[in-house]
Structure 1
Amino acid sequence: MKFKLLLTLFSIGLGSVYSQSVQPNKYGLKVVADTVLYKQELKIDSNKALIDLKKVIPNIALDIRYASANNFMGEKMYSTAAAFARLPVAKALQNVQRELGSKGLGLKVFDAYRPYTVTVAFYEKQKDSVFVAAPWKGSRHNRGCAVDLTVINLKTGKELKMPTPFDDFTEKAHSEYKNLSKKVLKNREMLKEIMSKNGFTVYKEEWWHYDFNGWKDFELTDISFEDLQRFQ
């Protein structure tokens, strides 16, 4: 009991020192942008690790739109086509993939962890805080706790029919939009149900965007994909 108490106090102390070492940016946000601090964070709590989803879910499909010009920005935002998420998020997605797999289905990920500077770039171009996060708040993607995804047929690799393509900014993208075919509604609700069961909540404006329910426990982060790959 004494050992556990000492360990807890030690972790709190480390967390306090860590928190003080991150200086607020111009928006007053504390953003982890240093790999040394990130490694210190992992020593305090291994759940903070940003995990390469392909390494823990080998059969997950990736279509990382921001690693190409095929996105609403019309330009390449990531230098590497990879998807990262915090350890508990990755484990939850493993469970989702396993359950879908029993039906011959699987996940396709469009985006997961997003460096904070990319979120700032999105806002500076769009000046919209509904479909892109405001830089003075940051995104749950920046915390490694949001994932943009859809469902595919594992045999054919084809996406199930959903209300809109990824990153559609029309009213049809809303997670409760009703004027859709029965098949599309069924697919959307199936995804919503399985994600909810595994600890995710859909973002109401985007049927493809899911936030992990424990996102508040994780810091806004601005570590590059290349640096993260060195820690895998």
Structure 2
Amino acid sequence: MKYSWIFMGVLILGACKQQPNVSKNDSTRSDAEIVMDTIPKDTIVEQKKTTLKTFEGIADTTFVRLADFSEDFAYDMRYATENNFLKAKVYDCPECYTRAKTAKALIRANKDFMEKGVKIKFFDCYRPNSVQYKMWEIVPNPQYVANPDKGSIHNKGGAVDITLVDLEGKELDMGTDFDYFGKKAYHDNMDLPQEILDNRKLLKETMEAHGFWSIRTEWWHYNLSAAFNDKVANFKWECPD
């Protein structure tokens, strides 16, 4: 019997040592708060919430960074890489800027796309006119690059080059890569598998419903009608350090 009491005492003492370091005021604290005190502070990582901007007080012609207003887009900014038809990097860093009115229309269109299980992925957005001159020096062909003296709607902040991806980021099949210059990329080319035609139709009809119009030879290119009369700009965004 004597040894049994000693054995029980050892068990109780061991159990007490395994308890968290509880203060006298812990009777007023939750179990979760007490447990958090036992976790080394350097293992706790705070999750920072991204605060998106609103368009309140922003003029429609102001240039805005699209990612500041929505987290629902995907990006593959090709001209900030050498993976483009120029085979040259002409942007210092990958950013997607547009006029505010273009951004609003894109967010509305993307909301419709997401209800159908897809979303917009950008290849190009606003393009400074100085970059247009760089592109013209590399490929001085108006069939592929707009003459910078006149400029394009890309230079006005009203044009985007896009495709669609599913909500996991996988691109829908549009039949060609971005910047494929040939009849296979034409909107009026019906000699394609039905899946591709359906994907292009979804892209085109949804964008048109939100004020954009396409060009016949490029399934990826969309212009905002309301931006047609805007001025060519040479606004340049700042790159992160």
Which of 179, 190, 195 does residue 167 from structure 1 map onto?
Answer: 179
Which of 98, 102, 113 does residue 115 from structure 2 map onto?
Answer: 102
The unaligned stretches of length 5 or more in structure 2 are 1-57
2:193 corresponds to 1:209: no
Determine the structure 2 residue equivalent to 1:128.
141
Larger RCO, structure (CA 8 Å, separation 6 or more): 1
- Which ranges of 4 or more aligned residues in structure 1 deviate by more than 3 Å? none
For normalisation by structure 2, the TM-score amounts to 0.73
Tell me, in whole angstroms, the C-alpha distance in 1 between the residues paired with 2:144 and 2:185: 10
Instruction: Give CA-to-partner distance per residue, 1:107-127, whole Å, 9 cap, x none.
Output: 000000001011112122212
2:131 corresponds to 1:118: yes
**Is contact 2:90–2:135 with CA below 8 Å preserved after alignment?**
no
Tell me, in whole angstroms, the C-alpha distance in 2 between the residues paired with 1:205 and 1:141: 16
Deviation at 1:189, TM superposition (A): 0.8
Deviation at 1:163, TM superposition (A): 2.3
**Is contact 1:108–1:150 with CA below 8 Å preserved after alignment?**
yes
Tell me, in whole angstroms, the C-alpha distance in 2 between the residues paired with 1:79 and 1:152: 25
**Aligned pairs for 1:43-122 within 5 A:** 46-122=59-135
RMSD of equivalent CA atoms: 1.5
The unaligned stretches of length 5 or more in structure 1 are 1-44
**Partner secondary structure for residue 220 of structure 2:** strand
**Partner secondary structure for residue 196 of structure 1:** helix
**Is contact 1:146–1:212 with CA below 8 Å preserved after alignment?**
yes
Deviation at 1:141, TM superposition (A): 0.3
Determine the structure 2 residue equivalent to 1:10.
none
Determine the structure 2 residue equivalent to 1:191.
203
* Letter aligned with residue 200 of structure 1: F
**Is contact 1:63–1:108 with CA below 8 Å preserved after alignment?**
yes
* Percent of aligned pairs sharing the same letter: 37
Considering only CA atoms, is the larger Rg found in Structure 1 or Structure 2? Answer: 2
Aligned residues: 183
